[in-house]
Amino acid sequence: MVKFSIIIPMRKIGDYVYEAMPYFESQTYKDFEIIILSEADETANFPKTRIIKVDRVSPAVKRNIGVQNAKGELIAFIDDDAYPEKDWLESSLKHFKNKNITAVAGPGVLPKKHSFFEKISGLVYELSSKETYYRYRKGKKIMEIEDYPTCNLIVRKKDFNKVGGFSIQYWGGEDTQLCHALTQKLKKKIIYDPDVLVYHHRRKDLMGHLKQSMFWGMWRGFFVKKYPKTSFKLTYFIPSLFVLWLIFGLLLLYNNIFKFVYIFSLVIYIFYLLILGIKTKSIKLIIPIILLTFLTHLVYGIGFIMGLLRKEGLKRTFNPSEKLEV
């Protein structure tokens, strides 16, 4: 038995995985194994690594299969487009001495090698929300959290199994479902530690970024109804309120007083976007950040409303090329 089992689901082994492997090999804590869940029938000579061939299934199913085959007592989830800091595993260990801590998470910062759009995409998420900014840059303090994505989440295997692992009834949202079960059913804590650090690539292009934002918005809207204790927060509603204000406000522009209020609110919003652009401290980033933030707010807000109206979660991926349903 090993201490950590690192679980990495993917479509196939690609350039990001080859980029990541030297960082796994250089971990200061050596007692770990790596389990790759790949849809492709392939082999690779990676140290401490097992490759398990899986069918065309959702990431939740892949991760569950990975845990079923894991020998570690701690399960370290990371995405296939991310790689860890050298003391990633070691930094998490001290927290697991407390039996009331069920999981440890850390930031996923922009990789050292990144494209211009990756930088813009990451900055939009980092600057837009005080609720989740610490996911995208290294925070300043250790704190308790309620929800965290599986791009950097280390969980006790016993607790994972107690709550039945990831739910596989929907496509996506399994990380929120798992965190809700761990904190609400087991009454245990999830700790964020800025030193439990990974480097996580952002979306490469505009369409990928907007699809991701829409996807997150729909899931958060759905979870507001399903898991209100962890998802019913004003921050998550603000983009949708903004979208509704933009649309329905236009219908009342015939009223001069309302017209003034409407236009003034838009000026305030533009000023807010300008502040975000200035925070980048780069002239070449100001306009891209302003435009992408506006589009992100729109699509997230629309997705959130769609999620609120849905009777159940998504059953298929947003990637039409996969043509998969659960």
CATH superfamily of 4-202: Spore Coat Polysaccharide Biosynthesis Protein SpsA; Chain A (3.90.550.10)
Residue 109 corresponds to which amino acid?
V
Calculate the CA dihedral of residues 7, 11, 17, 21 and round it to 10 degrees.
30
Task: Report angle CA 80, 82, 86 to the nearest 5 degrees.
Answer: 125
Asked whether 108 and 136 are in contact (CB, 8 A), the reply is yes
Domain edges within the chain = 4-202, 222-309
Residue 83: the pLDDT is: 98
Average pLDDT, the chain: 91
Per residue in 206-231, pLDDT (tens digit) is 999 999 999 999 999 999 988 888 88
Distance (Å, whole) CA 136 – CA 155: 20
Residue 93 corresponds to which amino acid?
L
Residue 321: the pLDDT is: 44
Of 144, 157, 118, the closest CA to residue 5 belongs to 157
Of 189, 193, 211, 194, the closest CA to residue 202 belongs to 211
pLDDT interval class at 2 (50, 70, 90): confident
Per residue in 93-104, pLDDT (tens digit) is 999 999 999 999
Distance (Å, whole) CA 167 – CA 182: 13
Residue 92 corresponds to which amino acid?
S
